[in-house]
Each structure stands twice: as C-alpha cells, then as structure tokens.
Structure 1
Amino acid sequence: MFEPIRGGTRGGQAEFKWSDVSADKDREHYLGHSINAPTGRWQKNKDVHWYNREAEDTEDEKNAEIKRIKQLEADALAIALF
C-alpha cells in the first residue's frame, strides 16, 4: 500500500535554467513576462534588477532626505489646513 520515497529531484529542478525559459517560443502563454527571463531589445545590457540593488547612500544623506521629506509633508499639511 505504501511505496518507498524515491530519491533524486522531482520536476527537473536540477536542470532548470532561466535562459531556457527566455528562449522558449511559448513563454508568453504559460509564464508571462518574468523579470528573471528578460527578452527583447530594451533589456539588452540593462540592469533589470535595479530596484533590488543595495543603495550606496551614507547615513548623513539618508537623514537629510528624511528631513527634506518631512519638511515637504509639513508644508503640504499647512497648505491643506490653511
């Protein structure tokens, strides 16, 4: 009734490559447009993961930006209440 668990990977996880997904002719039908499999001219030599990269701002720059944003919010609130 119970079978022993088979070994190895199931579903081909070991053989999976995003380059195969981007080259597949039917990719739009079953996968959609994945950020991990970019195709087309606009993606060539571009960093499509730009939003996920670590920023190189210093602590002073971050604090100055937060202060500037808070000041803009206070000004907008003052205008709205006036």
Structure 2
Amino acid sequence: MKVRIVKTNLQGLPVGESHHYTRYPDSLVERAKAMRAEGKTLRVIAAELGVSHTIVHQWSAGLRRRPAIRVIARRVRSE
C-alpha cells in the first residue's frame, strides 16, 4: 500500500488540492490572495490568472479555500 499526504479540515475532510473536485491549484489561490493584498482589483487579478472575478472574490474573502487545519497520511491501494 502507498501512503498519500492529505490536507484536511477539523472534521478530517480533504481540503484544497487534496479534495477530488479541486479545479485550481493551491499556488494559484495563494497568488490571487497575494495580488489582492497588494491592492489589485478583482477584475485585474481575474484577467491575469484566467479565472472569474467571482472566484477571486470568494478566495480573498475566505468564502472558499479555507486553510487546512491538519495534514494526515492516508493509505491508498496500489494498483
């Protein structure tokens, strides 16, 4: 069996790139948050990163992609 590192929330559910429905990598989300902290507008950030301004707002306001609380190792069946 293989071991996979997974970022989880307090309930043990996968978050960020560890979640199977993730569309955008954590690095892109962090880059958008940094650009917002620099004072760039949502639409400018969205245009530069190629995402919608709504998702940039949700990331920067903390409505999506809340930080991981803990990191755990899960066993995965090897194929």
User: In which range does the TM-score fall when normalised by the shorter chain?
Assistant: under 0.3
Normalised TM-score (structure 1): 0.23
- Larger helix proportion, structure 1 or 2? 1
- Larger strand proportion, structure 1 or 2? 2
